Amino acid sequence: MFRAALSGRVGRGVRALSATAVVAGTAGGAVAGAAPITHRAPAGGYEEVWVPSSMGPIKVQIQWAARGGSAALYLLDGMRARDDYNAWSHETNALAQYANDNVTLVMPVGGESSFYSDWMSPSNFNGQDVTYRWETFLTKELPDYLATRGVSRTDNGVLGLSMGGSAALTLAAYHRDQFTFAGSLSGYLNISAPGMREAIRVAMLDAGRFNVDSMWGPPWGQSWLRNDPFVFAPQLRGLSLYVSASSGLTGPYDHPQGVLDYYNTANGMALEALALANSRAFQVRLDTLGVPATYSFPAAGTHSWPYWEAELWKARPQILNALNAW
């Protein structure tokens, strides 16, 4: 939910790549002038593509598997997801981390406050003109496109932070034919807990003036329960799972220098403490069910990108093993 200001990190890992190729395609083929469609993934390289969807064309940043492999890792953004780039590509060195691995990184752009869900209606607080259909996009429209480029429909992982953390588990739980790995970093995994629905409502108003009732309807409705990892936890059995959250105490990457920095750090401390409480409750839930997962609960760390970058690196061996993508 919180995006720390990390001005020195913008673009790291992206500028080191070759010039971006912008490709527009459809699930059935390419538009005139686009690169020919193949059924083997390119061996390395970076592209930005526009993929058709029921929401209109969606920009997707892609780093292709180093040796043309078919496995893919979807990286989901946080609540303040931007419309110009996925923050994993600019706020972290995710591209460099996986540059030599045989897995394609798939980074959808957009979806502020969406929870990457299929909404009931457009948000009526901010004049939204389309209904979010992110689950449909990520599990049907985007895989249809990627399949034309050599990416498997079944050998995929999904990992997200904050809003994207709970969304990653939701997508994996309900689309087991697509995902074999799911990871949550600082996610909100017990949204039925007292106060969580109210907290999500406030956070979505703050991030784009979105009305949560347009997403899942009134609190305690079935859509809320469907999207609560604590509730659907039994459906995660058999997946390779990675769950992480820090304590909320400041750590090695927190160096506030001005008033805004101190304000953001304080917010990051509170948000991370809440994420930790949610993730610990989720751990107990999985343990009770006998569902194994890998957990990482560092003693220090706030709700900010350097810590998620570090966790992505820690999760890398498990991800590559789950996807057989070394």
Cβ(131)–Cβ(122) under 8 Å?
yes
90 is catalytic: no
CB 161 within 8 A of CB 187: yes
Which of 272, 279, 304, 309 is catalytic? The answer is 272
303 is catalytic: yes
Whether 311 is catalytic is no
Residues in contact with 134: Cβ distance below 8 Å, sequence separation at least 6, in sequence order: 55, 108, 111, 114, 115, 116, 117, 118, 167
262 Cβ neighbours under 8 A, 6+ residues apart: 256
Helices (H), the chain: 87-91, 94-97, 134-136, 142-147, 163-174, 196-206, 212-216, 222-226, 229-232, 259-289, 305-323
Rounded CA-CA distance 224/226 in Å is: 5
CA dist 63 and 10 (Å) reads: 17
- Report d(CA 103, CA 223) in Å as an integer: 33
* Other CB atoms within 10 A of residue 161 CB: 35
Is the separation of the CB atoms in 267 and 275 below 8 Å?
Answer: no
* 249-254: long-range contacts, CB 8 A cutoff, minimum separation 24: 249/299, 249/300, 249/301, 249/302, 250/300, 250/302, 251/298, 251/300, 251/301, 251/302, 251/307, 252/300, 253/301, 253/302, 253/304, 253/306, 253/307, 254/302, 254/304
Query: Rounded to whole angstroms, how far apart are CA atoms 269 and 285?
Result: 24
Selected catalytic residue, list 89, 117, 184, 303: 303
Q: Are 219 and 244 in contact (CB under 8 A)?
A: no
Question: In the structure encoding, which two tokens stand for residue 155, read together?
Answer: 């050998």
Catalytic residue among 89, 162, 186, 246: 162
Which residues are known to be catalytic? 162, 272, 303
